[in-house]
Structure 1
Amino acid sequence: MGSSEDGVYQPILQNNEATLSPQSSEKQNESSNKLEYILSDPTLPVLKRFRLATWIELKLIFLLAAPAVAVYMVNYCMSMSTQIFSGHLGNLELAAASLGNTGIQVFAYGLMLGMGSAVETLCGQAYGAHKYEMLGVYMQRSTILLTITGVFICFIYIFSKPILILLGESPRIASAAALFVFGLIPQLFAYAVNMPIQKFLQSQSIVAPSAYISAATLVLHLLLSWLVVYKIGLGLLGASLVLSLSWWIIVVAQFVYILKSERCKYTWAGFSLKAFSGLPEFFKLSAGSAVMLCLENWYFQILVLLAGLVDNPELALDSLSICMTVQGWVFMISIAFQAAASVRVSNELGAGHPKAAAFSVVTVTWISIVISVIAGIVVLALRDVISYGFTDGEIVANAVSDLCPLLALTLALNGVQPVLSGVAVGCGWQTFVAYVNVGCYYVIGVPLGSLLGFYFKLGAKGIWSGMIGGTVIQTMILLWITFRTDWNKEVEDAMKRLDKWDDDKRKPLLKK
């Protein structure tokens, strides 16, 4: 956009700037205001309006999504590399690490991520409304609640072996998986601290520092994993302990950044006793968020657990875990766009920009779809060689190749569904979407998958096919709801929500 066009919108930017923004976000706020003005300007031709708005929105989205992809990808690579190190110890170790990582650890991750999305909604909308001082309070409240939750989840980790056996898993695999899970207990509490910190930073469009921290930690993680697993010989337990240590390094580094960075000086005012007030009400909001995202994160993990009940469970677990690992890797791209959608929508609603919020939804959804479809095509092209990065077994490679068409379809769906979930988080629709997820995933998807997999003897392919059906229905419902959204009403709802959660109903900390 040329300088002459920029000059046209300076008056409206000055009039709309009700409060002083942190210096690091002045350009972002300016672009946001400009986007709403362009979309609301009836004097501009439609095509020009679309061109200008698209250019602004693309810059805002990629400012968020590009480093977020790096953060999620690197963090996922740590878990994936741990699984690879374990897999090269043997097929039993691969199955155990897969079951522990995908069946138990992801349970905790899904719960923590879900509860953390409450602070994502509040921080994003508060930041858009310039109520900067509340972001640090929200982050501390969420950390307290997630840490308490972690204490209760810890019992699942401790008793993982009898739980897995009760669910019908092989005692041999369950025993090895339990050993792996014991080493992940410290990681559980790292999640409890990291999720609120991550949402706190993302809501301010501060993502690049987390990417640098995660990348440096990954290098250290690979070195320590090689040393502990192969040279010291601690095996599965050593692999999971190193993974826990790596997550705590990320947590500490990010918090040090918050303390030292000028970009957070208005949103982090230090530890506050206000973090302990209103915890029951905050828990209710977090619980609704947890149900929504947990049901999504656990859905395809049930596929792995069910696979342990079919004939030849070790082969089924090995092949499915490889596919789920690849799916999870690509999903990191989708979840980065989910984060971008959540931040963009919540910021725009908090700022009172309904048209910009709606335009952000459309733009980020199309970008995510294109990338996910390309990923699906790549997977189909490499279907015969993907498994050799995890294990040397030819039988497993053939099984993975047979499942790749379903994997490619799942990747394509991931271009839409996570972004719509991000929109739901940005708007605060978590409770409603939780009901949709229950119906589509657990009333339709899981029973249909079980029917195809066990009754019709289609095995892992049948289970996966049925569960994809549930995802398709859920995606269609969310598309319809999003399409019919009244964004002016969403702005009003956002303002009411901020008034409710601003304890003192104080004016913004920073005034013009």
Structure 2
Amino acid sequence: MGSRKAIDNSGQETPEPPPARSRSSCGFEASHELEKVLSDTEKPYLSRLRQASWIELKLLFRLAAPAVMVYLINNSMSMSTRMFAGQLGNLELAAASLGNQGIQLFAYGLMLGMGSAVETLCGQAYGARRYDMLGVYLQRSAVVLLITGLPVTLLYISSKSILILLGESKSMASAAALFVYGLIPQIFAYAINFPIQKFLQAQSIVAPSAYISLGTLFLHVFLCWVVVYKIGLGLIGASLVLSLSWWIIVAAQFVYIVVSDKCKATWTGFSWEAFSGLWEFVKLSAASAVMLCLETWYFQILVLLAGLLPNPELALDSLSVCMAVNGLMFMVSVGFNAAASVRVGNELGAGNPKSAAFSVFMVNLVSFIIAIVEAMIVLSLRHVISYAFTSGEVVANAVSDLCPYLAVTLILNGVQPVLSGVAVGCGWQAFVAYVNVGCYYVVGIPLGCVLGFKYNLGAKGIWSGMIGGTMMQTLILLWFTFRTDWNKEVEKARKRLEEWDDVKQPLLQ
């Protein structure tokens, strides 16, 4: 389908504005007001800061609150699946955790990372009010991710051999592979869900996804109970229900896009243009994927290394509980990651450098404060957290010993993912990928292996090294963000949109 166009007074074609959307209009007006307040040097500094903070907090929480809810609920589906598996026995808990953290997170990181390319483009295009470009970006991203899902499927099919090759026991690898086989349909749900999610977030449409995810969570828990306990399908049944739940979310969100008036200007139907410019999109998606995959796989490697320790079942059980809690709390940061990406992308696309810089400051401050609170709660509940997953006292003691490391990780997660969201909003994925390689894989993992195996510190040593890598990466991103020239970033955003518009535009003639 062709894009909706209008002719302005100068004879130029401009994208037709969306139908009346008071919320979006208010968002653009608030964004313009924020830039005006920050630029008004006649007002006292504290007065400008107070007024700007109030404007930014309203914009931020309107995005972050539903986004946090979406990611928390989606993570809760995965965590509840592991809980059902854990009630079958310690082997089943370890197998589900190994399959989830060791194999499934590979696909999650890859697909979410590649989906971040559409987040950069849609966020900046929406800020520049080039609404017709968003639907094509969504479809182009879905095509690229669906094709990527094919080799990932082969990885899932080979998961048993891979885990044995990595040193896991045959019984553990067999049980984990059984769980992974049921997650194969989930790969392709990811391939469609993440572009849809970023498409909606770029337009500040987040609440519908939250309601859809919440309804699906209740259905998921019920179906897990029926399939695992009543029908008795065990691990494979639990993972198949998880795959089905993700497809329900995808279908419901797509129906919303098609029928909602809020997406009429940005979704004009399926188009053959989605199959054009794929190679350019693959290159941008690859940079995004490398950036996020290196982060996602980092703690995935922690779980795999734990499987090589003496008494691997206890190490995996205790780590899986801590990683489940970390994953749940991490979703709060990911929600702010999404909000940061949208806010920065929109402001750069709209040509508001001061607003973009101020948004970066506010979103990091709020996320960091929340992370401190999370860490305090975890430490206060360190002796009882594990009983939500398994009734074993030995596991509970091991989890209690690891909780201080979990608390430090949560505090770092209050800043690091948000800075990654800023990077996506600005299009810095390639730079962050290099930083991640150095900090995580040159420093963090080798240091963790030395502490864990050579000095016999076990899971604590592995985790300590990886915390060091995360801290190093966070400090580098903080320094780079602090030194950013936001006027130059506005100009880069304008050039990027022109470049991508050229890829698409000849097909409309």
TM range (shorter): over 0.9
Equivalent residue for 1:456? 455
What whole-Å deviation, never above 9, does each CA across 1:119-160 have from its counterpart, x for those lacking one? Answer: 000000000000101000000000000000001100010010
Change (3 A) 1:505 1:242: closer
What whole-Å deviation, never above 9, does each CA across 1:60-99 have from its counterpart, x for those lacking one? Answer: 0000000111100110000000000000000000000000
Q: CA deviation at 1:43?
A: 1.6
Larger CA deviation: 213-222 vs 39-48: 39-48
- Partner-residue secondary structure (3-state), 1:392: coil
Q: CA deviation at 1:42?
A: 1.4
Q: CA deviation at 1:44?
A: 1.4
Equivalent residue for 1:344? 343
Query: Structure 2 CA distance, aligned partners of 1:146 and 1:71?
Result: 21
Q: CA deviation at 1:19?
A: 7.5
Instruction: Tell me which amino acid in the other structure corresponds to 2:229.
Output: Y
Q: CA deviation at 1:505?
A: 7.2
| Contact 1:376-1:411 at 8 Å conserved across structures | yes
Structure 1 gaps, min length 5: 1-16
Larger CA deviation: 255-264 vs 494-503: 494-503
Equivalent residue for 1:10? none
Q: CA deviation at 1:21?
A: 4.9
| Contact 1:120-1:425 at 8 Å conserved across structures | yes
Instruction: Tell me which amino acid in the other structure corresponds to 1:380.
Output: L
Instruction: Tell me which amino acid in the other structure corresponds to 2:134.
Output: L
Matched, 1:376 2:375: yes
What whole-Å deviation, never above 9, does each CA across 1:325-351 have from its counterpart, x for those lacking one? Answer: 000000000000000000000000000
Equivalent residue for 1:192? 191
Q: TM-score, normalised by structure 2?
A: 0.95
Q: CA deviation at 1:504?
A: 6.1
Matched, 1:319 2:318: yes
Q: After the TM superposition, which parts of structure 1 deviate over 2 Å for at least 4 consecutive aligned residues? A: 17-24, 503-507
Equivalent residue for 1:477? 476
Q: CA deviation at 1:503?
A: 3.2
Equivalent residue for 2:182? 183
Equivalent residue for 2:224? 225
Query: Structure 1 CA distance, aligned partners of 2:492 and 2:430?
Result: 15
Instruction: Tell me which amino acid in the other structure corresponds to 1:128.
Output: G
Report percent identity of matched pairs: 72
Equivalent residue for 2:136? 137
Q: CA deviation at 1:23?
A: 2.7
Query: Structure 1 CA distance, aligned partners of 2:472 and 2:47?
Result: 36
Equivalent residue for 1:497? 496
Query: Structure 2 CA distance, aligned partners of 1:430 and 1:496?
Result: 17
Matched, 1:394 2:398: no
Query: Structure 2 CA distance, aligned partners of 1:35 and 1:440?
Result: 36
What whole-Å deviation, never above 9, does each CA across 1:396-454 have from its counterpart, x for those lacking one? Answer: 00000000000000000000100000000000000000000000000000000000000
Instruction: Tell me which amino acid in the other structure corresponds to 1:350.
Output: G
Instruction: Tell me which amino acid in the other structure corresponds to 2:280.
Output: E
Query: Structure 2 CA distance, aligned partners of 1:154 and 1:167?
Result: 19
Larger CA deviation: 89-98 vs 498-507: 498-507
Instruction: Tell me which amino acid in the other structure corresponds to 2:374.
Output: A
- Partner-residue secondary structure (3-state), 2:194: helix
Q: CA deviation at 1:255?
A: 0.1
Q: CA deviation at 1:18?
A: 10
Query: Structure 2 CA distance, aligned partners of 1:328 and 1:104?
Result: 15
Equivalent residue for 2:305? 306
Please give the residue correspondences for 1:251-290 in structure 2 after superposition, counting only pairs within 5 Å.
251-290=250-289
Please give the residue correspondences for 1:27-66 in structure 2 after superposition, counting only pairs within 5 Å.
27-66=26-65
Q: TM-score, normalised by structure 1?
A: 0.95
| Contact 1:157-1:181 at 8 Å conserved across structures | yes
| Contact 2:15-2:132 at 8 Å conserved across structures | no
Equivalent residue for 1:5? none
Equivalent residue for 1:11? none
Change (3 A) 1:265 1:21: closer
* Aligned residue-pair number: 492
2:20 aligned to which of 18, 23, 28: 23
Instruction: Tell me which amino acid in the other structure corresponds to 2:458.
Output: G
Equivalent residue for 2:118? 119
| Contact 1:141-1:275 at 8 Å conserved across structures | yes
Matched, 1:207 2:206: yes
Matched, 1:295 2:298: no
Equivalent residue for 1:165? 164
Equivalent residue for 1:8? none
* CA root-mean-square deviation: 1.3
Query: Structure 2 CA distance, aligned partners of 1:382 and 1:471?
Result: 24
| Contact 2:273-2:504 at 8 Å conserved across structures | no
Equivalent residue for 1:438? 437
Instruction: Tell me which amino acid in the other structure corresponds to 2:415.
Output: V
Query: Structure 2 CA distance, aligned partners of 1:400 and 1:450?
Result: 20
| Contact 2:276-2:504 at 8 Å conserved across structures | no
Equivalent residue for 2:69? 70
- Partner-residue secondary structure (3-state), 2:456: coil
| Contact 1:499-1:505 at 8 Å conserved across structures | no
Structure 2 gaps, min length 5: 1-13
Query: Structure 2 CA distance, aligned partners of 1:22 and 1:415?
Result: 37
| Contact 1:115-1:286 at 8 Å conserved across structures | yes
| Contact 1:21-1:130 at 8 Å conserved across structures | no
Larger CA deviation: 485-494 vs 33-42: 33-42
Q: CA deviation at 1:170?
A: 1.2
